[in-house]
Structure 1
Amino acid sequence: MKDHKDLDVWKQSMVLVEDIYALTKNFPSDEKYGLSSQIKRAVVSVPSNIAEGAGRKGDKEFIQFLYIAMGSLSELET
C-alpha cells in the first residue's frame, strides 16, 4: 500500500478540509461552538480515517476505515 499522502482520495479530502474551514469562517459567531464545530470535526475525520486505515497496512482494515470516512462525509453532507 502507498503512503496515505500519495493517495488521491486523501489529497482531495485535505482540499475539502481547507474549503470547509474557509467556509465556516463566514458563519455567525453564535455558531462557533455549535454547527461550525460539528462540521469541522466531521470534515477532519475524513482524511484522518483514510490516513489511519492506510497506516494499518491490511486491505480489510483499510477498507473499514474508508467506510468510516464515508460516514463522516455523510455527516458533513447532512
Structure 2
Amino acid sequence: MAFKFEELKVWQISLLLSDEIDAATKYFPKTELFSLTTQIKKAADSVNLNIAEGCMGQSKAEFSRFLTYSVRSGLEVVSCLFMARNRNYMPIERFNYFYNEYEQLCKMINALKNSLK
C-alpha cells in the first residue's frame, strides 16, 4: 500500500459505506437529486476524504482535527438518513443498517483520535 491511510480500518469502512450510500440513493426520487441525494453522498464521501487528507498531515494535532471533521460528516450522514426515512425514501431495515454502521464508524474514528493524544 502506497499511502498510510489505506491501512486504516476506519478509512476502509468509510470507503465501503460511501459506496453503499451511493447505491442506496439510486432509489431516492429524482426530485431529490440536487438536494438530499447530493447532500448525503457528499457527507459520506467527506468522512472518507477527511481521514485520508488528515492522515498525510504534518502532525498528530492536524490529523486529530481532520478526524473531527470526519466524525462531523458522519453525523451529517445520520441526519440525512433520518430525512430519507421520514420521507419514505428508504426502508426502515436499510435505515437501521446505515444508522448502526455510522454509529460504530464514528466511535472508531473517535477512538483513533483519542489514541493520538
Q: Does the TM-score normalized on the shorter chain lie above 0.5?
A: yes
- Range into which the TM-score falls when normalised by the shorter chain: over 0.9
Radius of gyration: which is bigger? Answer: 2
In the TM superposition, what are the counterparts of 1:1-78 in structure 2 within 5 Å? 3-78=4-79
**Alpha-carbon distance in 2 for matches of 1:75, 1:34:** 13
| Percent of aligned positions that are identical | 39
Where does structure 2 lack aligned partners over 5 or more consecutive residues?
80-117
Deviation at 1:57, TM superposition (A): 3.8
**C-alpha root-mean-square deviation of aligned residues, in Å?**
1.0
Deviation at 1:48, TM superposition (A): 0.4
4+ residue segments displaced more than 3 Å:
none
**Alpha-carbon distance in 1 for matches of 2:48, 2:16:** 10
Where does structure 1 lack aligned partners over 5 or more consecutive residues?
none
**Alpha-carbon distance in 2 for matches of 1:34, 1:45:** 16
**Alpha-carbon distance in 2 for matches of 1:64, 1:32:** 31
Between the two proteins, the alignment pairs up a number of residues equal to: 77
**Structure with more contact order per residue of length (Cα contacts < 8 Å, sep ≥ 6):** 1
> TM-score of the superposition, structure 2-length normalised?
0.64
**Alpha-carbon distance in 1 for matches of 2:4, 2:58:** 10
